[in-house]
Copies of this chain bind each other. A is one copy, B any other.
Amino acid sequence: MADKEKMTIIVFSGEMDKALAAFNLAIGGATSGMEVTMFFTFWGLNVIKKNEGGIESKGIMRKMLNFMNRGGAKRLPLSKFHMLGMGDWMMKKLMKDVNFPHVEELMAVAKEFGVKFVACTTSMGIMGISKDAFIPEVDSFAGVATYLADAKESKINLFV
């Protein structure tokens, strides 16, 4: 730990392409010996939600918001080509074509190499999402203070 170089990535976006970029960077960092932490916030929380539906949330609007944001690594949209969902399907086909791993697989690889996943408690509060909505791979639940303490000591800090 002592002198291990650090890297942090804030995953703000819930889009597949941005998630792919974030995990690629994280895995790259971890495999090159860095200590990498990913902070999932706002729509980025969708990336680390369970794929199964049925997230408990209080209030009808939160229910709606959470339904529209069911999330789970399998359901992430693309930041481009929303039209008719064509882009997503095409992108997934293309990635399969070249044997590029899915977000889910990259997530598993990232975990294997020790990348830490932190879910932002502030966003969870706004959106009314409780801890059990998330995949077990999430290491901790924390706010901005934790992020900053980490980022201050990091060589690379990105907001994706």
Contact = CB atoms under 8 A, between A and B. Distances in A.
Contact of A148 (B28, B91, B127): B28
- Indicate how many identical chains form the complex: 3
Contacts of A80: 14, 43
A148 B156 contact: yes
Contact of A5 (B7, B126, B152): B152
Contacts of A64: 90
Given A21-B41, A43-B17, A157-B158, A148 B29 contact: yes
Given A145-B28, A147-B28, A21 B5 contact: no
Interface residues of A, number: 56
Contacts of A114: none
A116 B157 CA distance: 21
A5 B153 CA distance: 11
A61 interface: yes
A contact face: mostly helix, strand, loop, or mixed: helix
A126 B156 contact: no
30 contacts: A5-B152, A10-B158, A12-B21, A12-B160, A14-B80, A20-B42, A21-B41, A24-B144, A25-B147, A25-B148, A28-B143, A28-B147, A32-B149, A34-B148, A43-B80, A61-B94, A62-B97, A64-B90, A65-B90, A65-B94, A94-B126, A95-B126, A97-B128, A98-B126, A100-B122, A152-B156, A154-B156, A156-B157, A158-B158, A159-B159
